[in-house]
């Protein structure tokens, strides 16, 4: 049975930072995005509210800014090698993130089978953001179920990698999970933990097949 490896982006594949932070840095908006991040982490605003405000903050954003943010970001080492081995084993790898899809989808070029993020209008913005397209933590489980169906993978054969409270629902729904440089509250739920800057080493913790079953093998449970 093939396995599906589900990777968070912010704080997981990106070391100690998030895509919106790296994008905002290109615009000289470090202070503004730091305040917005604090409000979001504190639960003062939800995902759609965050998206509307960051969309307004990025009024001058261009594709060149996004490219510079992506190429200059502090990525974990070993991402391409890890995903290449996953593919070689007949398994699947996907990125599921609350960050903008126009950033997340660039990881398809690194070997991810799928990459999902919050749907923003094309850059440069000429349209408002639609809150209905913005992902929340529960959406990660829904997308995981959709990917299981698409790839013909059992939910009992999913592995999640994440770092923050936005990964709690997914970690609770899969049999095997890796907390990568993770929040202590997520570590308590993870089956494995890794601290460092090499994704390959995190992957090595779970290279053996998953054998536990979830929910009778039908679907991941987001409750």
| Number of domains within the chain | 2
> Which pLDDT score, from 0 to 100, does residue 41 have?
87
> Which pLDDT score, from 0 to 100, does residue 210 have?
47
CA atoms lying within 13 Å on the CB side of residue 11: 17
Is residue 110 situated within a structural domain? yes
Question: Which residues partner with 7 through β-bridges?
Answer: 95, 161
Is residue 223 situated within a structural domain? no
> Which pLDDT score, from 0 to 100, does residue 208 have?
75
DSSP 83-152: HHHHHHTT-EEEEEEEEEHHHHGGGGGGT-SEEEEE--PPSSP-S---GGG---HHHHHHHHHHHHHHHT
Is residue 179 situated within a structural domain? yes
Same-domain status, 28 and 120 = no
10-residue mean pLDDT profile of the chain (223 residues): values are 96 98 98 96 93 97 98 98 97 98 98 98 96 95 97 96 96 97 95 98 86 51 57
Range of the domain at 125: 4-15+75-217
Instruction: Judge whether 180 and 24 are in contact, CB under 8 Å.
Output: no
The CATH number for 135's domain is 3.40.50.1000
Is residue 222 situated within a structural domain? no
Same-domain status, 194 and 206 = yes
Model-level pTM? 0.93
Same-domain status, 111 and 35 = no
> Which pLDDT score, from 0 to 100, does residue 99 have?
97
Same-domain status, 60 and 47 = yes
> Which pLDDT score, from 0 to 100, does residue 220 have?
77
Is residue 166 situated within a structural domain? yes
> Which pLDDT score, from 0 to 100, does residue 218 have?
59
Is residue 112 situated within a structural domain? yes
Same-domain status, 186 and 126 = yes
Query: In angstroms, rounded to a whole number, what is the distance separating the alpha carbons of residues 155 and 17?
Result: 29
């Amino acid at each position: 049975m093939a396995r599906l490896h589900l990777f968070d982006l912010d704080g997981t594949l990106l070391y100690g930072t998030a895509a919106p932070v790296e994008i905002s840095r290109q615009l000289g908006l470090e202070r503004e995005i730091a305040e917005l991040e604090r409000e979001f982490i504190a639960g003062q605003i939800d995902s759609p509210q965050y998206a509307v405000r960051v969309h307004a903050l990025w009024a001058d954003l261009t594709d060149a800014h996004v490219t510079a943010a992506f190429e200059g970001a502090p990525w974990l080492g070993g991402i391409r090698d890890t995903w290449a081995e996953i593919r070689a084993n007949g398994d699947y790898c996907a990125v599921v993130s609350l960050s903008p899809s126009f950033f997340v989808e660039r990881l398809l070029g690194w070997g991810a089978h799928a990459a999902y993020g919050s749907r923003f209008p094309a850059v440069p913005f000429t349209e408002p953001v639609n809150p209905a397209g913005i992902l929340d933590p529960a959406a990660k489980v829904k997308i995981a179920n959709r990917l299981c169906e698409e790839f013909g993978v059992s939910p009992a054969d999913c592995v999640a990698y994440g770092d923050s409270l936005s990964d709690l629902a997914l970690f609770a729904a899969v049999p095997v999970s890796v907390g990568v440089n993770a929040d202590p509250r997520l570590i308590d739920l993870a089956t494995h933990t890794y601290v460092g800057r090499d994704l390959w080493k995190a992957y090595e913790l779970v290279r053996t097949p998953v054998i536990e079953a979830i929910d009778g093998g039908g679907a991941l449970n987001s409750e």
